[in-house]
Each structure stands twice: as C-alpha cells, then as structure tokens.
Amino acid sequence: MDIKILGTGCVNCKNLETLTRKVLTELGLDIEIEKVTDPSEIVSWGVMSTPALVLDDEVVFSGRIPPADDLKKLLAAR
C-alpha cells in the first residue's frame, strides 16, 4: 500500500501524520508515509483543503482529520 499525506506543513497535517503512524502501528503494518508539501503537487491531486490522505493514488479524504476508528477501517481494508 502506498500512503501519501498532502499538506503544506500546517498543524493538522502533522497531527494527521502522527495519527496515521499510530494506526499503522496498531495494525502491525510497517509502511513508509510519503509527505507531499509542494503546493503544485497537492493541487494537482485536486486537493485544496489540507491535510489530505492519498492511498494507492486515490484521495480518500481531505480537509479534516478523520476519527481514529474510521482511519483504522480505511487502512485495514486495503
């Protein structure tokens, strides 16, 4: 699974990264998270509200940090 976090370095982007790492650890997955901070690249994903999470080249949500349970389901389903 390929995980990208799109964000310009705001507080919520860091919070999302921390949460994603935590959930990955809970699931026993060891996957690198790629951070995308270049605005051109963020926008080219069709994303304006940061942070956004991209799983396997698909934007799964943007603009907010999902509840940990939702994120867990999402990552476990891949």
Partner 1 sequence: MSTPTLTSTEPAPRSNVRRWAPVAAGAVLWWALYHWNLPFWNWVMYDVAGLDPESHWGSGVHFFFYDVSKILLLLSGVIFLVTVLRSFMSVERTRALLGGRRQGVGNAAAAGLGVVTPFCSCSAVPVFMGFVAAGVPLGVTLSFLIASPMVNEIAIVLLFGLFGWQIAALYIGFGLIIATFAGILLGRMNLERWVEPFVFETKLRGKPIDPSRGLSWDDRLTMAREEVVSIIRKVWPYLLVGIGVGAAIHGWAPADWFAAHAGGPLGVPIAVVIGVPLYSNAAGVMPIVEVLHDKGLPMGTVLAFMMSVVALSLPEMILLRRVLKPKLIATYVGVVATGILATGFLFNAIL
Which residues are at the interface with partner 1 (CB under 8 A)? Answer: 8-12, 39-40, 42-50, 52, 56, 58-64, 66-67, 69-70, 73-74, 77
> What residues are annotated to the active site?
10, 13
Token duo for residue 72: 């867990």
Cβ-count burial 40-60 (b if 16+ within 10 Å, e if not): eebeebebeebbbbbbeeeeb
Q: What is the smallest separation between the CB atom of 11 and partner 1, expressed in angstroms? A: 8
Please report how close the Cβ of residue 22 comes to partner 1 at its closest, in angstroms. 17
For partner 1, the closer of residues 28 and 40 by Cβ is: 40
Regarding beta strands 33-36 and 3-6, do their DSSP bridges make them parallel or antiparallel, or are they unpaired?
A: parallel
Is residue 70 within 8 A of residue 23, CB to CB? The reply is no
